[in-house]
Amino acid sequence: MPERNRVVREWDDAAESWVDFVRQGKDYFRDELNNPGMFRMIGNVKGQLVLDVACGEGYNTRMLSCKGARVTGADLSKVLIGYAKSQEEKDGFGIDYFVADFCRSFTVLS
């Protein structure tokens, strides 16, 4: 539990800087390498229900919505979810955002 609390606190503390980094187009790795490959891999999401775990401030969550998915975003950080919800109020994509810890909700089976 202490490690989880440290991780949450670090993301909460870094949220404002992270949001600036992402929303000002500074996340070149995601934009140029990660997302093109990821979106090719997952294919057409139009009409699909998608859960974006570790959604952060909702960047990819919004992209999935723009591609026609019905999306829910979840993240450990209340602060990042606050930024995501604030942007959703402006955009009106119909995305639901929740604070959730999926590491504690699943058991790895061998």
- For the domain spanning 2-99, the CATH number is 3.40.50.150
CA angle 69, 72, 75 (to 5 degrees): 135
Map out the domains of the chain as residue ranges.
2-99
Q: Give the burial string for 70-80 (b: 16+ CB within 10 Å, else e).
A: bbbbbbbbebb
pLDDT one digit per residue (tens) for the chain, 110 residues: 577 789 889 999 999 999 999 999 999 999 999 999 999 999 999 999 999 999 999 999 999 999 999 999 999 999 999 999 999 999 999 999 999 888 765 544 43
CB atoms under 10 Å from CB of 82, counted, come to 16
Q: What is the pTM of this model?
A: 0.86
